[in-house]
Amino acid sequence: MMTNFEWQNYVPQNSALNGKVILVTGAADGIGKAVTIALAKHGASVLMLDKKARHLEKLSDEMVERGYAEPIILPIDLMEVTPETATTLAQAVLDDIGHLDGLLHNAAELGSPSPLDQYDMEYWNSVMHTNLQAPYVLTRALLPLLKQDHTTNILFTSADVGRNAAPYWGAYSIAYAGLEAQMTIWAEELETVSNIKVNSIDPGAVRTTLRRRSHPGESQDSLATPQSITPAYLKLLAGDHDFHGQRLSI
């Protein structure tokens, strides 16, 4: 079920994010970067996961200079994430922090849109691992940290071609169709045994590097900026909602 929701004027109230610990994948650019900054601005401690270490270091410096909560840098390539490395990461978070209040799966790999019978297998493997496999193993490993007495959140960033399969989108479309199924299964299995809310969100057309690559020649001027849609992510990661198992859309 796809659901639209009110988010445009959302501002976290009563320290809804203050002191929360939230892990964001794909934190160095685009939506991930904008959400990371917004979370820190409202007091959250962000675990910034991305393969672009220098970008993360620069972003961290900028956030500290602004007086925001200091983030923790996790320079990790999702292509190298395995069940073993995810478990190691979860143990490190447990040892250093002790808990987790939110998990945003935002990192994405576009691949090379083409007919399925001509799809490059190297691209296939990287797209499927980054967009589908890595979110699964990270969620599984971090699940014990997310099981708190209070509400915590797992949010999967999705895509329209994952909800409505489209020709020539190949592995990208198939991976996000799988991600939507994964979200639904996690939501149903966790509903009665935890306080974790699990949802997915399709941000729509946003002015990002991935969008420029997937839609060459498209005018970027009419697209939403990553900063303009951050209130939707803040609302969902702050837990200021009753959504669970929903396919949300901006």
The Cβ of residue 181 has, within 10 Å, a number of other Cβ atoms equal to 12
Residue 50: beta bridge partners?
Answer: 75
Active-site residue (options: 119, 172, 176, 233): 172
Determine the Cα–Cα distance for residues 20 and 39; give it in Å rounded to an integer.
Answer: 9
Tell me if residue 190 falls in helix, strand or coil. helix
C-alpha distances in Å from residue 224, one per residue of 12, 98, 144, 205, 216: 21, 36, 36, 7, 16
Find out whether 180 and 158 touch, Cβ atoms under 8 Å. Answer: yes
Q: What is the DSSP string of 133-157?
A: IHHHHHHHHHHHHH--SS-EEEEEE
172 is catalytic: yes
Residue among 117, 79, 110 nearest 173 (CA): 110
Query: According to DSSP H, which parts of the chain are helical?
Result: 30-41, 53-65, 83-96, 121-128, 134-146, 160-163, 170-190, 209-214, 230-237
Report the catalytic residues.
172
